[in-house]
Structure 1
Amino acid sequence: MKNRFKTMLTLGLVFISLITMNAQQKQKMENTALLIIDVQNDYFQGGKMTLEKAEQAGENSKKILEYFRENNLPVIHIQHISTNDGATFFLPDTDGAKINHLVLPMNDEKVIVKHFPNSFRETDLLHYLQSKKIKNLVITGMMTDVCVEATTRAAFDFGFGNTIIGDATATRNRELNGEVVKAADIQRSFLAGISALGNLYAGITNTNEFLNK
């Protein structure tokens, strides 16, 4: 009888602990929105500007997106449409400019079209975040060292706290002075730089850590 009582008491304490943890997690995520930047077809295999590990970043962005949807947290999709002369990808009215199927927006999710690397520039992103009383952003997307970086730094300047899901971002090889700089090196350098000085611009985590914290 005593053993049964102890077992029931233990199970009760575990149940209460789980409820408390879930409540604390929800409270922690209040005033937080997910920002998915430029996860569009041209960055994937067969597109006009293929990135390294785009599929992995897209799949991880999908996992983060599902978490936000399950918890009824706000989601914002950023879609880049190129309007500058000489642009070769994300061209208007092309399949390549469409948001990839992995993270297709639902009807009630905000979609913001931008024309510059900084998602705040000449868009209503700041006004929308302020209207929803958002204070913190969880950021995924592409390219890590261009639009993700520009948007994250701008978000910090506007007073937002930022968390980047590192393995839900992607970039590509680049050339500098005739030498190829590998995408993996660019990725590590960007994430190290933007999280320097005690996560000044953003904290960095990965998909599993974020979902299991």
Structure 2
Amino acid sequence: MNSALFDPARGYVRLMDGLVPHEDEPLITKTAHNAFTTTNLHQFLTSRGVRALTVCGLRTEQCCETTTRVASDLGFDVTFATIRTVDELTSA
């Protein structure tokens, strides 16, 4: 897998307008199809006692589903918010 595709420094991905975190909020940048493989997200969540996740986002069939499966494999109780995921973006 070429993780460069998911690297924000390459210019292929960016935070959506309105989703920029506040200065005191953590920002975990993933560079793979799921949010766990190339990040410290698992450690971050477990160190805070998080046991349940709701997954939503873009690229349902890629990133969202893969993150959901990996989170479940890691023991999280996962809700997959299908109404809050999209496969492709269209412009109005």
Name the TM-score class by shorter chain. 0.7 to 0.9
Residues 163 and 130 from structure 1, CA distance in 2 versus in 1: closer, same or farther, beyond 3 angstroms?
same
What's the secondary structure of 1:113's corresponding residue? Answer: coil
> Following the alignment from structure 1 to structure 2, what is the Cα–Cα distance between the partners of residues 157 and 107?
32
Deviation for aligned residue 1:153? 0.3
Residues 93 and 167 from structure 1, CA distance in 2 versus in 1: closer, same or farther, beyond 3 angstroms?
same
**Partner deviation per Cα, 1:146-191 (whole Å, 9 max, x = no partner):** 010111000001110111222211003xxxxxxxxxxxxxxxxxxx
Task: Confirm whether residue 92 of structure 1 aligns to residue 13 of structure 2.
Answer: no
What's the secondary structure of 2:21's corresponding residue? Answer: coil
Residues 163 and 121 from structure 1, CA distance in 2 versus in 1: closer, same or farther, beyond 3 angstroms?
same
TM-score (norm 1): 0.37
Q: Which residues of structure 1 form unaligned runs of 5+?
A: 1-81, 173-213
> In 1, are the aligned partners of 2:34 and 2:70 still within 8 Å (CA)?
yes
- Select 2:69's aligned residue among 153, 165, 170: 153
Which has the larger Rg?
Answer: 1
Which moves more between the two structures, 103-112 or 136-145?
A: 103-112
Paired AA for residue 14 in structure 2: K
> Following the alignment from structure 2 to structure 1, what is the Cα–Cα distance between the partners of residues 18 and 7?
17
What's the secondary structure of 1:140's corresponding residue? Answer: strand
> In 1, are the aligned partners of 2:8 and 2:14 still within 8 Å (CA)?
no
Q: Which residues of structure 2 form unaligned runs of 5+?
A: none
Task: Confirm whether residue 137 of structure 1 aligns to residue 53 of structure 2.
Answer: yes
Cα RMSD after superposing both structures? 1.9
Paired AA for residue 19 in structure 2: V
> Following the alignment from structure 2 to structure 1, what is the Cα–Cα distance between the partners of residues 18 and 81?
16
What's the secondary structure of 2:27's corresponding residue? Answer: strand
> In 1, are the aligned partners of 2:7 and 2:31 still within 8 Å (CA)?
no
Count, aligned residues? 86
Deviation for aligned residue 1:122? 2.3
> Following the alignment from structure 1 to structure 2, what is the Cα–Cα distance between the partners of residues 104 and 97?
13
Deviation for aligned residue 1:90? 5.9
Paired AA for residue 159 in structure 1: G
Residues 137 and 91 from structure 1, CA distance in 2 versus in 1: closer, same or farther, beyond 3 angstroms?
closer
Equivalent in the alignment of 2:24: 108
Deviation for aligned residue 1:104? 1.9
TM-score (norm 2): 0.80
